[in-house]
Structure 1
Amino acid sequence: MRATGLRARALARTTARGAAAAAGLLAVSTRVTPWPSALAIRAIFDRGAARANTSLARHVPSGLVEDVDEAYDISSPDGRLDVFRPGRPGPLPTVVWVHGGAFVSGSKRDVANYLRVLAGRGFATVGVDYSIAPGSRYPTPVGQVAAALAYLVDHADRLGVDPTRIVLAGDSAGAQIAAQVALLVTDEQYAHGVGVAVELPPDALRGVVLFCGAYDFTLARGSTRLGSWLVDTAIWSYLGSQRHDERVTLQGSIPPNLTPAFPPVFVSAGNGDPLLPHTLRLVESLAEHGVGHEALLFADDRQPRLGHEFQFDLDTAAGREALDRSVAFIQRVTS
């Protein structure tokens, strides 16, 4: 019995030392690479996105036409897009949606049912896949969305899209990417600086729809320890450096680069969204530059508080309001 107890205590000490060593290794690794934290965020976000997409299934209308996994870039396994449209002839005003996921997670699958719901309102809707960080870094996703737009223009007749009535849209990280692509379309000098060209005439981009985005990389870190970890990991993964390159940080931020040529904007975020300051900063900058915009914001004391990506919950009044308001905006700018 005594020998058994000694072996058990020895095993416990060995296990504890191993756990401590593993924890130490993890702590060190998270200081030299964003990968461990990015993978943790990816696992959490992917589960949440899958649940949200599944809950939207009951809201999807019947009779839609779908073209899925169109290869807009045959050189990349991530260069795929889905097109949804109502069962009537095109060409239709087209909403090109860039999915979120803190730059390190997500796919077009996550927004597929939401885009089906939007298609039921009379639009062609497009979900774009792009390569996520840390495996791919800025500005790769920006260039991929630009390539997706070129593909849609080239295949407009077959896909039923109207290349003269495009609305860029996105949620969370995808909102930042969509907004930056809109900058590329409307500001040739800015596009030259980024090194990404978009083959879309500025007057073909009728508007931008943005939900819960991270628009300004110069803003302070999150207000909580968890929020700071998430924001730091996302930006480190996407921009490629823990010590942010000021030039890249400013280039990827939307408010400092806005011009009056930016297209009309519908923008929204929940009152409980940790990224709400980004939306408030964007709205302020849009007003400063005379850019037409409609903001769906909520009172600070609204209960229950509306968190990140609130718009995907169509079982709530706020989610339905966001859908109806954004649809009305799209109809107005594409008519």
Structure 2
Amino acid sequence: MMNRYERNRIPAVPFDPETPEYQNAVIDLATYWTQIDGDLHLADAEHAERIHRSRTDGAIFDYPRALHWQDPEEVQAHTDIAYLPDGGYGENQVRGHLLDVYLPNDAVVRGGKTTPVYIDIHGGGFCYGYKELNRNFNTHLAAQGFGVFSLNYRPAPQTNLLGQLADIEAALCWIRDHLSEFPLSPTDIFITGDSAGACLALLALAIENSENAARAFQIGEVSGLNFAGGALVSGVYNLSPQVSDSDESSARELLTQMLGDAFFTDLDDALPYLNPDSLMRHVADIPPLYLVTSSDDFIQAQTLQLATALAVHDRDFELHDFTVPKTQTLGHVFSVGMTWLPESQRVLQQIRDFSYNIAS
């Protein structure tokens, strides 16, 4: 594994993408930001192969972006903090139970408790990636004037959806208990996530704002953090097992094919929270949301479905759907994976404007 403490830039591998040597070298480097195969014994052979293929394909796709990852000079990084006692990298430790904190130098120098907070949940189809996958995005978000907590959670097949939400709630409780140790606002707290992480962020907001939702997802203790809002990037939001006549296959069906039935076990009580319209009918206190997608995002319709539900139920949100000309591409979670793009810079500025307009 690459040195997780001293990594500055991902080293370049001679470009020859069709060769096993190139692919193996890239996959080895990608252990910095994702699990590859160490947990596949927890899945049956069919789904282990599908998860492995998804992870290796993701690593090869993300590697050219990783060559451009750099931390802004004005941001401090505090990495690999255990939010549960077993968090760590050892044989009997859990990498999924770690978090990072990114702080603007200005906030540290000035002190006080005024800098707003973002809590980030990375994406990756619920099975790919750790917090390091989003380090580039989070450090640039911190440079916008936020303290950023970046959360790990156990990927499938290490756990299922309920286990991932339990991890996130445990991390939120850790943040609640330790927030006063940082030069950050105790009240101006926001949540963000991309792709699967956006889904987990939205469900975390439901759990934090509804005792019934917390009970349905089997969460014994919520953090009680009073979230002022959220920024959700290219998310998957409809995990309902029901498929409409217009759907060839639902997100849930596709994820089940990838992850197996076990990922969605014990969710009967949670069904009201697994599609946007029903969630809005059952949770009255979802805070204002910033939503972003693009016209060539392969799950653009999921963001538009959430926006429609928010509008129908008269919730506070703003939607940014970037239209991509035929001569360009943005694709899925562009603002997270490619922060240097002009469009990504606009997203970061929009998130800052959205959040600072809400902050007390």
Q: TM-score, normalised by structure 2?
A: 0.75
- 1:44 is aligned to 57
Q: Which amino acid aligns with 1:68?
A: T
Check conservation: 1:165, 1:205, Cα contact below 8 A: yes
- 1:56 is aligned to 69
- 2:355 is aligned to 330
- 1:33-182 superposed matches below 5 A: 33-57=46-70, 60-76=71-87, 77=94, 78-87=96-105, 88=108, 89-91=111-113, 92-182=115-205
Check conservation: 1:209, 1:267, Cα contact below 8 A: yes
Over the aligned positions, Cα root-mean-square deviation in angstroms equals: 2.9
- 1:22 is aligned to none
Rounded to whole Å, the distance in 2 between the matches of 1:127 and 1:186 is 21
Q: Could you report, residue by residue, the CA deviation over 1:36-86 in whole angstroms, capped at 9, with x for unpaired residues?
A: 1111101122343454344231xx321322221111011341210000011
1:210 aligned onto 2:232: yes
Rounded to whole Å, the distance in 1 between the matches of 2:284 and 2:210 is 10
The alignment covers a number of residue pairs equal to: 300
Rounded to whole Å, the distance in 2 between the matches of 1:280 and 1:271 is 11
Q: Could you report, residue by residue, the CA deviation over 1:173-212 in whole angstroms, capped at 9, with x for unpaired residues?
A: 000001100001111111112111453336x200011001
Check conservation: 1:152, 1:161, Cα contact below 8 A: no
1:187 aligned onto 2:210: yes
- 1:316 is aligned to 341
Q: Could you report, residue by residue, the CA deviation over 1:264-319 in whole angstroms, capped at 9, with x for unpaired residues?
A: 00011111111111111100001112110011013476652431111132332222
Which region of structure 1 is more displaced relative to structure 2, 253-262 or 286-295? 253-262
- Cα distance, 1:331 vs structure 2: 1.5
Rounded to whole Å, the distance in 2 between the matches of 1:177 and 1:37 is 22
Q: Could you report, residue by residue, the CA deviation over 1:222-272 in whole angstroms, capped at 9, with x for unpaired residues?
A: 9899x999644346367346xx97655554434421233101000111111
Q: 1:238 to 1:307 in 2, by over 3 A?
A: farther
Secondary structure in 2 matching 1:82: strand
Q: 1:273 to 1:83 in 2, by over 3 A?
A: same
Rounded to whole Å, the distance in 2 between the matches of 1:166 and 1:138 is 24
| Structure 1: stretches of 5+ with no match in the other structure | 1-29
Q: 1:260 to 1:194 in 2, by over 3 A?
A: same
Q: Which amino acid aligns with 1:66?
A: A
Check conservation: 1:97, 1:128, Cα contact below 8 A: yes
Rounded to whole Å, the distance in 2 between the matches of 1:287 and 1:113 is 32
The percent identity for this pair of structures is 22
- Cα distance, 1:127 vs structure 2: 0.8
Q: 1:298 to 1:250 in 2, by over 3 A?
A: same
- Would you tell me which structure has more helix in proportion to its own residues? 1
- 1:8 is aligned to none
Rounded to whole Å, the distance in 2 between the matches of 1:230 and 1:212 is 17
- 1:275 is aligned to 299
Secondary structure in 1 matching 2:207: helix
Secondary structure in 2 matching 1:55: coil
Rounded to whole Å, the distance in 1 between the matches of 2:149 and 2:170 is 13
Q: 1:249 to 1:192 in 2, by over 3 A?
A: closer
Q: TM-score, normalised by structure 1?
A: 0.80
Check conservation: 2:203, 2:273, Cα contact below 8 A: no
Rounded to whole Å, the distance in 2 between the matches of 1:327 and 1:49 is 26
Check conservation: 1:41, 1:230, Cα contact below 8 A: no
Q: Which amino acid aligns with 1:290?
A: D
| Structure 2: stretches of 5+ with no match in the other structure | 1-42, 88-93
Rounded to whole Å, the distance in 2 between the matches of 1:98 and 1:151 is 15
